[in-house]
Amino acid sequence: MDASLTRSATAGIVARAQDLFEDLSFNAAREWKAAKPGRKVVGYMPIYVPREIIHAADMLPLGVVGGGDQLEVIHGDAYYQSYICRIPRSTIELGVSGRLDFVDGMLFPSICDVIRNLSGMWKMMFPDVYSRYFDVPQNYRDEIGGNYYVNELAELRHDLGELRGKPITDDELRHSIAVYNENRKLVRELYAFRAERPWQAPAPEVYLVLRAGLVLPVEEHSAMLRDYLAAARAEERPMRDNCRIVLTGAFCEQPPLNLIKSLELAGCYVVDDDLLLVTRWLTADVPTDGDPLRNLATSFLHQSESTAAKYEPDQKEKGQHLVRAVKKSGAEGVIFAAPSFCDPALLDRPMLQHVLKDAGIPFIAFKYAENSGQMQPIREQAGTFADSIKLWSGA
């Protein structure tokens, strides 16, 4: 394949993803909705909701992950004290400024007390929108947490069926599970490719392509992933003398894109991360035969990502997901990057750091906000970390 053509293919996909990322009016989703009468859009916040059920109701699941650094928060600050993280205030801003006025429902997953309370605020502020706090079990036994979760899923299925005006069938659900299995497979492939050749799939590009999946129909996003993988594989890019790191703690409020770029510029290839976990929350295919809700529940209980918003019942397992991520991706260190005032990430951090210390894995930590503008300190810290790994890792 002609190299210049390939380059333009990669650049074209990334440019499209970047446009979607920068569009705070969610025009792609608006166009999707307007294309056929009766279409509905259901928004969801990080970190996980069963998008399969929304899809099975012929609705568009729309990821709402705050306003980023391009959104000027004017009204949202009036709703939150200074010591509360930024994602709820920019999400409120998106709501009160009419940017989400086409959204028919909002799901608030179980992440933390701030998002939990935001679910109640949404009910008060947007009473005509279907909104639901989507609780998940912290008990992982099939007959306890599993049964509870199946019933919660059934309630969501019922509600969305009502919103659509027609119940969601098992076959519709099975089809949606298959469609999302395909998407997750491609995301896993993308992550594996980046871990193998991070210079071929730079972290800011991977992030943008992944993020596009929050606003596009899943079928379209899978096509984008396929195209990006093909283009990125075909394009030869120079390998830098960077170290390889796992980025963790960024599972909810997203860091500015510049922060991700800064890490690479400072000499760190991101070879694994916990950004946009919803795109790969379930770590293996969900079976498409049998009871679809039971299958989703079983996958949630036994094959899902570990993160600070989940209880870890086994002390010996605590933090091991990070050690495994380091080993699997061939990383040389871990960067903890958590949003300011993020209780789950910041309370988890000391425990994870103890595990890394015991495993002999170097780490650094800093905080950010989605609108952090000053990257120099982060670049310096990450640069020093990269240098120390390069200088001392063999010692």
Partner 1 sequence: MSRVIVTPKAAAKEVLKDASMQKQKDMMAGHYDRLTSAPETGAKVASTFVPGNLNELIMCFDLVNNLPEVNAIQSGLRRQSGGYVLEAEKIGHSEDVCTYVKSDVGMMAKGNIAPNGKKFPNPDVLLLSYTGCFTFMKWFELLREQYKCETIMLHTPYMGDGKITPNMVEYMVKQLKEEVIPKLEQVSGVKFDIDRLRENLKKSVTAEEDLVWVLQSAKNKPSPIDAYFGGIYYIGPIFGAFRGTDDAIEYYKFLREEVAERIAEGKGPVTPDGDMGKEKYRLVVEGPPNYTNFRQFWKMFYDEGAVVVASSYTKVGGVYDLGFRHNPDKPLETLAEYCLGVYTNRSLPMRIDMLSNYINEYEADGLLINSIKSCNSFSAGQLLMMREVEKRTGKPAAFVESDLVDPRYFSAANIKNRLESYLQMIEQKRAGSKAA
- Minimum Å distance from CB 217 to partner 1? 28
Nearer to partner 1, 141 or 166 (CB): 141
- Minimum Å distance from CB 114 to partner 1? 4
Does the N-terminal peptide bond of residue 111 adopt cis geometry, omega within 30 degrees of 0?
no
Nearer to partner 1, 25 or 147 (CB): 147
| CA–CA separation, 316 and 355 (whole Å) | 10
Nearer to partner 1, 104 or 312 (CB): 312
Per-residue CA distances from 89 to 123, 129, 146, 256 (Å): 15, 19, 33, 16
Starting at the edge strand found earlier in the chain, the sheet holding 105-109 runs: 60-63, 41-44, 105-109, 130-134
Starting at the edge strand found earlier in the chain, the sheet holding 333-339 runs: 268-273, 243-248, 333-339, 363-368
- Minimum Å distance from CB 341 to partner 1? 5
Q: Which two tokens stand for residue 337?
A: 């990057």
- 6-12 long-range contacts, Cβ below 8 Å, gap at least 24? 6/231, 6/234, 6/235, 7/235, 9/227, 9/230, 9/231, 9/234, 9/235, 10/205, 10/228, 10/231, 10/232, 10/235
- Minimum Å distance from CB 139 to partner 1? 5
- Minimum Å distance from CB 42 to partner 1? 16
| CA–CA separation, 37 and 379 (whole Å) | 49
Nearer to partner 1, 240 or 354 (CB): 354
Nearer to partner 1, 85 or 276 (CB): 85
Summarize as ranges the residues that interact with partner 1 (CB under 8 A): 78-81, 83-84, 88, 108, 110-114, 116-121, 123-125, 132-133, 135, 137-139, 141, 143-145, 147-148, 151-152, 155, 308-309, 311-313, 315, 318, 338, 340-344, 346-351, 353-354, 367
- Minimum Å distance from CB 189 to partner 1? 33
Nearer to partner 1, 81 or 374 (CB): 81
Instruction: Give bridge partners of residue 243 from the DSSP assignment.
Output: 268
- Minimum Å distance from CB 2 to partner 1? 51
Q: Which two tokens stand for residue 132?
A: 């639901």
- Minimum Å distance from CB 108 to partner 1? 7
Spatial contact of 88 and 114, defined as CB atoms under 8 Å apart: yes
228 CB-contact burial (10 Å; exposed 0-12 / middle 13-18 / buried 19+): buried
CA–chain centroid gap for 347, Å, is: 20
Nearer to partner 1, 11 or 351 (CB): 351
Nearer to partner 1, 163 or 265 (CB): 163
| CA–CA separation, 349 and 355 (whole Å) | 10
Instruction: Give bridge partners of residue 338 from the DSSP assignment.
Output: 367
